[in-house]
Amino acid sequence: MNRSLDHTTSLRIAIQKSGRLTDKTIDLLHGIGIEFDNYKRNLMVKTRNFDVELLLLRDDDIPEYVQDGICDLGFVGANEVFEKNTRVNVLRGLNYGNCRLAVASPKDSALVNPSDFEGKKIATSYPFLTKRFFEDQGISIEMVEISGAVEITPQLHVADAISDLVSTGGTLKANGLVERFTILESETKLIQTQQALSEGKQQLIQKFLQRIDGYQTAKKSRYILMNAPLSSVETIKALLPSMKSPTIMPLAETEMVAIHSVIPYDQFWDVMEQLQDAGASDIVMLPIESMIA
Ligand code: ATP
Ligand code: ZN
């Protein structure tokens, strides 16, 4: 047996072959130290330094491959996981590929609230989620199932409205459609099969998750360095939203210290101004590759 295909020892992970999730998923895998190449030409890629093989698939197929245990893990949008109604464990939300499944109708249409849609035709590639959304509210709609270019159907009088994925809303606008309400908020999820896994694979998944958590925390954090007068240290310490106590080092110049800390990126700019007011100078912010708490 070809060892590279021996699924009992390697963790097999499904990712989208080519599409909106591909680059970010590859970046994440590289970011957590998993090395591989040639993913564009192959359907199965063996990684060089981690006991993992990648299976490159259409995103629609990923939930079922994971549910059935053909793959142990998968990176795929929540929209696909829930549309396929698969039984998988969602391990992490990864905050990329963010979008929503929303209902939109032509801008001059009277179809605004869910109740307006009774008996109307809705075109979608997400029949399961769309039908369930309306059914839950006791509204019956006529479903027009379409696999692509859903946004054109109202102009062609194929449907009265659509239910489709939206991120910026640009495509809707270009087709004279207005977003009315959301059925599902989506982001990329890391999912795991519910099939039994060997001890070895379970350990590998724990290691994989620890790396992902480290990578995600690092992405949200910045390393911050500054100089400050000794007399300001207590004020500055109180201002820093650090995860840990900051590092304080004496400088050659007496009465001055260097302060190093890790802070959440989204608080950097607010804090920076307050640090300046408190006497800090030469404030430097650096990205962090990864961190393990
Ligand atoms: P495949 O060939 O793999 O089936 P696809 O055309 O179905 O590709 P993409 O358009 O690459 O899929 O979208 C993949 C995923 O990206 C979606 O399932 C969704 O989770 C996410 N996504 C984020 N924003 C959008 C958007 N504006 N439109 C569609 N998908 C989006
Ligand atoms: Zn798809």
Within 6 A (CB) of ligand 1 lie 16, 19-21, 58-60, 77, 79-80, 97, 99, 165-167, 186
Quote the pLDDT of residue 2: 40
CATH architecture of 221-287: 2-Layer Sandwich (3.30)
Count of all residues that appear for the chain in the document: 293
Quote the pLDDT of residue 4: 40
12 CB contacts (<8 Å, ≥6 apart)? 52, 53, 54, 55, 70, 71, 72, 73
pLDDT at 37 over 90: no
Query: Which phi and psi (to 5°) does residue 47 adopt?
Result: -85, 155
Report the predicted TM-score, pTM, of the whole model to 2 decimal places. 0.89
Q: Tell me whether domains 99-186 and 221-287 share a fold.
A: no
Domain 3-97+188-218: give its CATH code. 3.40.190.10
pLDDT at 117 over 60: yes
Q: At 175, which amino acid appears?
A: N
Domain range summary for the chain, segments of one domain joined by +: 3-97+188-218, 99-186, 221-287
CATH class as words, domain 99-186: alpha beta
Quote the pLDDT of residue 8: 60
CA distance 61 to 64: 6
CA distance 74 to 67: 10
* Residue 178 confidence class, pLDDT cut points 50, 70, 90: very high
* Residue 290 confidence class, pLDDT cut points 50, 70, 90: confident
Q: What is the mean pLDDT of residues 46-52?
A: 91
Q: How many CB atoms lie within 10 A of CB 137?
A: 11
Of 167, 162, 138, nearest to 148 by C-alpha is: 162
Q: Write the residue with the smallest CA distance to atom 4 of ligand 1.
A: 58
Task: Please report which ligand is nearest the Cα atom of 97.
Answer: 1
pLDDT at 7 over 60: no
Residue of 75, 99, 185, 190 with the most ligand 1 atoms within 8 Å of its CB, for mutation: 99
- pLDDT digit string (tens) for 230-268? 999 999 999 998 878 899 999 987 799 999 999 999 998
Q: Going along the chain, which residue ranges are E strands?
A: 11-16, 44-46, 52-57, 73-77, 89-93, 99-106, 121-124, 142-145, 161-166, 177-186, 188-192, 221-229, 247-250, 256-264, 281-287
CA distance 260 to 243: 12
